[in-house]
Copies of this chain bind each other. A is one copy, B any other.
């Protein structure tokens, strides 16, 4: 914890992250953004030859899709719904009175049709399902968006609004498994090429409550989730900077994603936590990019 606070303070002092008064919500300097852009170009060079279809969703998604995803079953504490004022002029007068009196004015806000995107690939599955059958050889997508998770923290590597870059493959089981393995190998190689010390381990999602324990065990027993870990503020508890998730045919069944034959597709997604990777680079090589090792700079900026 102390190391997290001290790294956060150093990032503020160096101006790389900018305080906003809310834990886990930070501005980024031009230099910080430049590191993220450079790492994304490395991702482009690595994944580019695969010919994925690029789609960029905004940071919010259709609430109906979000509800159907089951996210509120597994991670209710992390979701962010968007609410608006929908009243008349008289309601507005009351609202302003309420704010003036320092009372809680947010009670009158009503839920809109939009929920913040919890992971870049959430809006993808229902979108692709509407396009009809998936090709026999499978289909590959390239995504990136800001994501929201309500978990205020002093750990700079646990932000409430952060960017996730993802590749998603939907197709036959063997190719889906091969896709995931390929990115475990590529991810390890990419991180080593920029001087980061990594290892990959089996992992689980933060399922809510005691009932969630079962889901955790099931996910781990079946090796459905792996994470690429890099020490940032702790060597004992390194930070997950990539995750590699195999959904079996769960999403195929849930969203009606199927082959021409009617059989559900298998899916997997591979995600890069872009802020976490930038933070791992700053933590490993120092806060002054000009001082980073030449070979790392060469990989990132050519």
A interface, CB within 8 angstroms of B: 18-22, 25-30, 32-33, 53-65, 67, 72-73, 76-87, 89, 92, 95-96, 99, 104-106, 109-114, 116, 123, 126-127, 130, 142, 146, 148, 150, 152, 159-162, 208-211
Q: Which residues of B contact A211 (CB under 8 A)?
A: 89
Q: Which residues of B contact A162 (CB under 8 A)?
A: 58
Q: What are 15 of the A-B contact pairs (CB < 8 Å)?
A: A20-B127, A21-B62, A25-B62, A27-B57, A30-B55, A30-B56, A32-B56, A33-B56, A72-B85, A79-B85, A82-B148, A82-B150, A83-B83, A89-B208, A89-B209
* From B59, B79, B106, contact of A161 by CB (8 A): B59
Q: Which residues of B contact A57 (CB under 8 A)?
A: 18, 20, 27-28
The CA-CA distance from A150 to B98 in the complex, in Å, is 22
The reply to whether A127 and B27 contact each other, CB–CB distance below 8 Å, is yes
Q: Which residues of B contact A62 (CB under 8 A)?
A: 20-22, 25
The reply to whether A85 and B77 contact each other, CB–CB distance below 8 Å, is yes
Q: Chain copies in the assembly? A: 2
> Nearest 7 CB-CB pairs, A to B?
A30-B54, A106-B111, A58-B161, A84-B150, A76-B85, A89-B209, A80-B82
The reply to whether A76 and B61 contact each other, CB–CB distance below 8 Å, is no
Q: Which residues of B contact A33 (CB under 8 A)?
A: 54, 56
